[in-house]
Chain A
Amino acid sequence: MPRTRTHVLPGFQLSLGFTLFYFGVLVLVPVAALTFRTFSQGLPAFWGTILEERAIASYKNSFGLSLLAGGFDGVVGLVIAWVLTRYDFPGRRALDALIDLPFALPTAVAGIALTALYSPQGWLGKLLPFKVAYTPLGIFIALAFVGLPFVVRTIQPVLAQLPVELEEAAACLGASRLLIFTKVLFPAVLPAVLTGITLAFGRSVGEYGSVIFIAGNIAYYTEITPLLIVMKLEQFHYPAAAGLGFFMLIVSFFILFLIQILQTWNARRSGGRA
């Protein structure tokens, strides 16, 4: 009895069916609703929403600061990854485990903790001559906190798998340690660094709980885009909220796409071993 689709292992229809159903109900239908709502008042209204002055001010925080924090994490993360993979010292395991802390801490907890540290009466806030909390600097620190593990964890495997022979060969040829780093090692980890930064950026762009407390949410100054969405929803401006949400979703898709490309590049450059 010829069948057109035959599988050796059981459960194809059940598992795929349930998976697609779950996705459909949770993601696809809601995203369709979002798209519909976004353009329900026409394209000009959409542009009006996302190009509003307040929205643009929020992009500077959500996107701009995420980029800066990503870059910062890129540099710091590289050093940390270097130290963790190349040196041995007491407390190395603990340091390594601490990197995952932002993943372990719920965002609201991180948010209030960072505020406790950097508010003007905070542990660090009172030691510093300038304001950190309730300024974009505070947002920057929160985003750097959130993004650091992405960078470190992306660079570590690549660094660990770099063949030692590369450096030894360069050293035999008379290169100084610094030269070896800039000409041999850094180019080799660059894909990983860029991938890590993009991951951190992608995550930071949508970050809410860690940022909302330390930001202070001062209009046009320290507002982030997700906050604007929340505000519009509270005011029942559904199309406007949808518009901003749609915009952020598009950006997320674009970042996801970019990440896939970077990861392929990264895998190829570092020998493709996972």
Chain B
Amino acid sequence: MRTPRVPAPSRHDPTHGPRSVNHSANHPANHSANEPANHSASEPANGAVNLARRMTKRLTTPTLGLALLAFMPLMPLSAGPIACASGTGTPPPAHRNNAERPPPFALAPDFSVPDATGTPRDLASLMGPKGLVLVLYRGHW
């Protein structure tokens, strides 16, 4: 029915190169922010294990829970690079990941392309009194 539209690597887009570096630049910041939490978290883990040795078997399950909690700070370390790579992590500040840039031409080119009902539309016919928001989207919805 339709040809598969697999996202191609962004390096095919020549205007992308310098901008895409921004995301990988965030990785060191993520790591350094998380590392102190890991060191402090390992102490409660040891304490929990020592406590477990002195307790009855009935306490095994809660102790395991404590140990799991102690390892939870490790998770952002592994999730960080993935989130940066996919761009679906925590919403960044407005000034980051900004695709806004100078336009590739001074004046919007005219065109004549049919709309969803087959009616030809050109730039002048679509222009409103204040202007036009022209969204180019990937399609395949």
Partners in one complex: no
Interface on A for B, CB 8 Å cutoff?
none
